[in-house]
Amino acid sequence: MRHLLLSRFLRRGGGSGIPNGHYHHLPLLRALSSSPSPVSSDAELRKYAGYALLLLGCGAATYYSFPFPADALHKKAVPFRYAPLPEDLHAVSNWSGTHEVHARVLLQPDSLPALEGALAAAHKERRKLRPLGSGLSPNGIALSRAGMVNLALMDKVLDVDAKKKTVTVQAGIRVAELVDALREHGLTLQNFASIREQQVGGFTQVGAHGTGATLPPVDEQVISMKLVTPAKGTIELSREKDPELFYLARCGLGGLGVVAEVTLQCVERHQLVEHTFVSNADEVKKNHKKWLSENKHIKYLWIPYTDTVVVVQCNPPSKWITPKLASKYGKDEALQHVRDLYRESLKKYRTETESKDPEIDTLSFTELRDKLLALDPLDKDHVVKINKAEAEYWKKSEGYRMGWSDEILGFDCGGQQWVSENCFPTGTLAKPSMKDLDYIDKLLQLIEKEEIPAPGPIEQRWTARSKSPMSPASSSEEDDVFSWVGIIMYLPTSDARQRKEITEEFFSYRSLARSLWDDYSAYEHWAKIEVPKDKDELAELQARLRKRFPVDAYNKARMELDPNKMQIIFGAGQATGKYAMASNEPLGTISDITEGAGASEEPCLVGTGATASGSAGASPSHSGAGAGSSYGSNGKKRRLSDEELGIMAGLTGAVNKLAEAVQAPVVVQTTDVHPDLYQICMSIPGFTDEELMTCLTYLLDNKRQGDGFVKMEPKHRVLWLRQHLAKI
């Protein structure tokens, strides 16, 4: 290389026209041939000597500050871990893993007297206590770090009246268990949501719904209830006993008391024939009015970036016509193109070796979709490919199937996800306004215009009106029909950074949909409202809800039944930094968070957001920079987020435990368990941490069982957990 450089410069110098051109490259020759010069001055020598002394001093200080034991050289390094959470702190998250709280109070009464005693004690001590169901609500409506009460142990069927077709149950019973109990009496529930793992109390309190333009939301099935209240104890409500409060509490969001017992109106057990077929927007517009009125249950699954609309119609079987139940394509044929897309995507994003994994052929469609999305969930072009594959899958899945109503009306929603669902009036069956289809048309246009990586499906369903004034489908007109539209973004990965990015994109997507709400008088499902952290946005949301719902009447009832605001709504559901938008801040909390059990000024969407003066724990100081406070760059006092507090606590624990960690014996454990096993097992709702940890320990010790558990559908995981715990 040196000869090449010299010859090149010699040629340039020789051709420059300068006499004796060989002198032109003399400086270069000197530079290339000369040896490095010595240190130019004593100043530089002193500088490097100072660096050396500083390094030696730091080493000595470290050695004497954290002395090693004699056998330290023979020990292996251990990974750093933050100090563990206190043993009395319960970690509770919702099913999607989007919201989580740590609470010291999590009660599980097993009888009505025990529940009454728990609420009476909390009321006397002026502690907050929120009723917690199965934790299926996407927004974690029941989560509160101040304290929760779960009725999972109050799950008995108390009475069945086959003649009147009614059933009285404790509110902690799951919908699936109730349906099984009703089977022997020839009864079932009128309608179902997509899943059946909800506790009946939460199922009715948040205004859950199925689909069918002549069928109301499930709160309409409630004909009487026992409500345990902080101030008045247990009260019985029905259409005859205090009807105004009954209708208000029927969809009461757990804010008026804890529903202990419910009497539901049932129907005769019946079968349904489900017809699934693929259509398009033009065809749907032509037939929408007819389909809405002729089908007992109907829903549309719109797939963004395609012209595909999946139509699902469910009706009682005809006495005269027997449908052809066999599908044109088998399961493997319907899934083959999705598997091929996944293998091709693996070659692009990962390795060719993974694309040859035989396990791919055992995955269901929703599992394949999750894995495809996990490769690049926010790349619009990648999502479009997945949506087109989904459209093709539904095309190959057209056909009929027949079964009992509770089996047919269920729907595999996929894995963990963010969801926003709104409800708006769409005329009557006799005179549909067609606003439901107009809304979808504008939403799909916005998605394409803004290039949102929106996966499918956008689910659209319908219900009749509800008499419950707090229901989004509330109406005084008997013939009114309401449309429910849900948008979604899946969380197919446990990677914290990727989940955060998906969350941010989802809230942009939701904001886009929200721009349409006012034009259609659309309001979000109570279990899917995400409370803003910003005070101004919160005030705007409260004002908007006040226009739709009887907030004054609701607050009046709350002041009578719960004057200490023990069961304040949306009070302290925490969106953890691992899953949520951009921070660990509690969901909707706008005041300091102290170390006590919920001493915070918790906003209520349908109330004033005032502080319950008797909350347990010390009240935050507003006059100085106490715990949970700091000062911003503008010199004004600001409040530390949970993320900052967590970091401070973690660093403090780390410093205190560092020497101990260095000296601690190393436990080396080699295992090849599934990387998602811990997250999947410990995030299943309806079980205590102790129960889940018992099951997790077994699965970790039995690799084949653990791998099989990961591959199960969510409902089968719950069944396995119950059976395993019953054996212990």
Whole-angstrom distance, CA of residue 169 vs CA of residue 156 = 6
In a domain, 28, yes or no: yes
Binned at pLDDT 50, 70 and 90, residue 721 comes out as: confident
As a whole number, mean pLDDT of residues 481-497 equals 94
Whole-angstrom distance, CA of residue 312 vs CA of residue 310 = 7
In a domain, 719, yes or no: yes
324: number of Cβ within 10 Å:
8
Domain stop point among 221, 242, 268? 268
Lowest mean pLDDT among 209-223, 319-333, 681-695: 319-333
Positive or negative: CA dihedral 59, 65, 71, 76: negative
- Please report which residue ranges of 318-434 form alpha helices under DSSP H: 331-349, 352-355, 365-375, 380-396, 405-408
Give me the CATH number covering residue 197.
Answer: 3.30.465.10
pLDDT higher than 80, residue 360? yes
Contact present, 141 and 594 (Cβ < 8 Å): no
Binned at pLDDT 50, 70 and 90, residue 467 comes out as: very high
Domain stop point among 248, 268, 288? 268
In the chain, the number of structural domains is: 3
Cα-based distances in Å from 12 to 1, 27, 628: 17, 14, 71
In terms of DSSP bridges, do strands 166-170 and 157-161 run parallel, antiparallel, or are they unpaired?
A: antiparallel
Whole-angstrom distance, CA of residue 39 vs CA of residue 111 = 86
In a domain, 85, yes or no: no
- Owning domain of residue 681: 677-727
In a domain, 713, yes or no: yes
In a domain, 51, yes or no: no
As a whole number, mean pLDDT of residues 662-679 equals 56
Contact present, 96 and 527 (Cβ < 8 Å): no
The per-residue pLDDT for 608 is: 41
* DSSP SS3 for 540: helix
Q: In what order do the strands lie in the sheet with 222-229?
A: 157-161, 166-170, 258-265, 222-229, 233-238
Binned at pLDDT 50, 70 and 90, residue 324 comes out as: confident
Q: Which DSSP category does 466 fall into?
A: B
In a domain, 171, yes or no: yes
The per-residue pLDDT for 192 is: 86
In a domain, 245, yes or no: yes
Whole-angstrom distance, CA of residue 423 vs CA of residue 141 = 18
DSSP per residue over 121-144, as a string?
HHHHTT---EEE-SS--TT-TT-B
Binned at pLDDT 50, 70 and 90, residue 60 comes out as: confident
Highest average pLDDT, of 65-69, 407-411, 524-528, 653-657, comes from 524-528
The per-residue pLDDT for 603 is: 52
DSSP per residue over 28-86, as a string?
HHHHHHPPPPPP--HHHHHHHHHHHHHHHHHHHHHHHHSPPPTTGGGSPP----PPPPP
Q: Which DSSP category does 199 fall into?
A: B
Lowest mean pLDDT among 64-78, 188-202, 498-512: 64-78
Confidence (pTM): 0.70
Cα three-residue angle 178-184-188, rounded to 5 degrees = 45
Highest average pLDDT, of 251-255, 448-452, 570-574, 675-679, comes from 448-452
pLDDT higher than 80, residue 350? no
Burial class (CB in 10 A: 0-12, 13-18, 19+), 142: buried
In a domain, 210, yes or no: yes
Contact present, 586 and 531 (Cβ < 8 Å): no
Domain stop point among 244, 268, 292? 268
The per-residue pLDDT for 299 is: 97
Q: Which DSSP category does 241 fall into?
A: S
